């Protein structure tokens, strides 16, 4: 129950995650990543520039924020709005194609809903792309509920960490530490929750610290040192506010995680080499962090898409089988089956 990368968790079974589908052009998921959207936008800008037009006045695509693209889409300049809308439409087609490919996998069979997270999902352009992809899928005969995550992308990868721990470990405590390690950003936070009658109620982020480490280009050790410092700051702050932390640290990071916490593959976007037998994140952090409330801290590491999906568990009680896509540096993915269905079957 408390193993790293576990498949049987308190409220769900993780049917599969970190699927790396390939076609002749590479990883299928890369067609629906944040980088893919920027590449599509850049391609259309190149076409316009060939004819003397550039609604963005030469600003590099990588420097145009999602909020600015939202403004262009709603703005008075028809060329700028049309350019963004064209990129959204093409990206929606790619996303719909990726969804269809995943639904062919045995482990994704009978998926009823896919929630889409990551930074793009919080923007208007991202939500428009989800809606357009949903129309394309439904109109093409693919029955799937496609929606954006309820939690803000900056917090979703932290909130889900509570679902990695059994409720008996959380009882008598107010919060846990959580970390969300992405290909560009690192977030460490304090997650509050309540346990009522042996069940975990919806969790929320009390406070979190954010570091866009990609800008600083740290080594692996520098990144882990900074992560430990962020965690210590939050532990000290929790003590000041008399918040009782459970001796538990839930961590989401890219890649395929084995039961020992080793990243087997998929950590190529992290700073330095995080993959293979020579590195164990839990052990590295254990050497750097103090006890929590006089207890040794238990670290549980899982894939970041899994953890982000776990934050949606309270909202998934009306379906049995569901999945998550996280649109970031790449496309994270995980598929779940709610365990309450198993419990109902056993009672019958």
Distance CA 304, CA 312 (A): 13
DSSP letters, 275-301, are BSTT--HHHHHHHHS--BTTBPPEEEE
The per-residue pLDDT for range 41-96, each reduced to its tens digit, is 999 999 999 999 999 999 999 999 999 999 999 999 999 999 999 999 999 999 99
Distance CA 239, CA 235 (A): 6
> How many CB atoms neighbour CB 26 within 10 A?
11
Distance CA 307, CA 251 (A): 8
Q: If you search the block for the tokens 């954010």, which residue do you land on?
A: 210
pLDDT of residue 246: 94
Question: Do 213 and 223 contact (CB within 8 A), yes or no?
Answer: yes
pLDDT of residue 344: 43
8-state DSSP, 8: B
Residue 347's contacts (CB-CB under 8 Å, 6 or more residues apart) are: none
- Record: fold of 1-150+312-348: Nucleotidyltransferase; domain 5 (3.30.420)
pLDDT of residue 87: 96
Angle between helices 220-240 and 281-288 (to 10 degrees): 50
Question: Do 139 and 96 contact (CB within 8 A), yes or no?
Answer: no
pLDDT of residue 198: 67
Tokens read off for 68? 């600015």
8-state DSSP, 314: G
Which residues of the chain register pLDDT less than 70? 1-2, 26, 198, 340-348
8-state DSSP, 336: E
Largest CA distance in the chain: 70
For the sheet containing 145-148, what is the strand order?
A: 12-17, 331-338, 321-327, 113-117, 145-148
Distance CA 175, CA 203 (A): 9
Reference 28, options 114, 110, 102; nearest CA is: 102
Distance CA 149, CA 314 (A): 12
Alpha helices, DSSP H, located in the chain: 34-49, 66-74, 78-103, 124-139, 153-159, 167-170, 220-240, 281-288, 304-310, 340-347
b/e code 242-254 from CB counts within 10 Å (16+ = b): ebebbbbbbbbbb
The domain locations on the chain are: 1-150+312-348, 154-305
- Asked if the domains 1-150+312-348 and 154-305 are classified in one and the same CATH topology, the answer is yes
CATH of domain 154-305: 3.30.420.40
The per-residue pLDDT for range 154-187, each reduced to its tens digit, is 899 999 999 998 888 898 899 999 999 988 899 9
């Amino acid at each position: 129950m408390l193993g790293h990368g576990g498949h049987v968790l308190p409220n769900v079974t993780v049917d599969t995650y970190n699927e790396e589908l390939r076609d002749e052009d590479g990883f299928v998921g890369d067609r629906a990543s944040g980088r893919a959207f920027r590449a599509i936008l850049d391609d259309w800008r190149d076409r316009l520039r060939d004819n003397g037009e550039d609604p963005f006045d030469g600003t590099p695509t990588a420097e145009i924020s999602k909020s600015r693209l939202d403004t262009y889409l709603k703005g008075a300049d028809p060329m700028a709005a049309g350019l963004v809308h064209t990129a959204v439409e093409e990206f929606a087609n790619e996303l719909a194609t990726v969804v269809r490919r995943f639904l062919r996998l045995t482990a994704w069979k009978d998926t009823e809903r896919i929630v889409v997270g990551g930074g793009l999902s919080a923007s208007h352009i991202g939500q428009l792309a989800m809606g357009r992809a949903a129309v394309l899928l439904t109109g093409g005969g693919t029955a799937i509920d496609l929606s954006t995550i309820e939690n803000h992308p900056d917090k979703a990868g932290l909130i889900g960490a509570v679902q990695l721990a059994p409720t008996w470990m959380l009882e008598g405590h107010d919060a846990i530490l959580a970390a969300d390690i992405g290909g560009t950003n690192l977030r460490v936070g304090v997650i509050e929750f309540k346990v009522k009658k042996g069940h975990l109620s919806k969790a929320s982020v009390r406070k979190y610290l954010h570091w866009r480490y990609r800008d600083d280009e740290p080594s692996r050790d520098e990144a882990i040192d900074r992560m430990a410092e962020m965690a210590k700051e939050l532990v000290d702050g929790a003590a000041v506010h008399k918040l009782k932390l459970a001796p538990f640290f839930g961590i989401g990071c890219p890649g395929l995680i084995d039961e020992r916490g080793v990243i087997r593959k998929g950590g190529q976007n992290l700073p330095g080499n995080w993959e293979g037998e020579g590195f164990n994140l839990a052990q590295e952090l254990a050497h750097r962090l103090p006890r929590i409330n006089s207890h040794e801290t238990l670290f549980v590491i899982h894939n970041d898409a899994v953890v982000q999906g776990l934050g949606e568990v309270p909202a998934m009680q009306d379906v049995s089988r569901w999945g998550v896509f996280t649109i970031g540096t790449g496309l994270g993915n995980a598929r779940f089956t709610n365990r309450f269905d198993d419990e109902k079957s056993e009672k019958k």
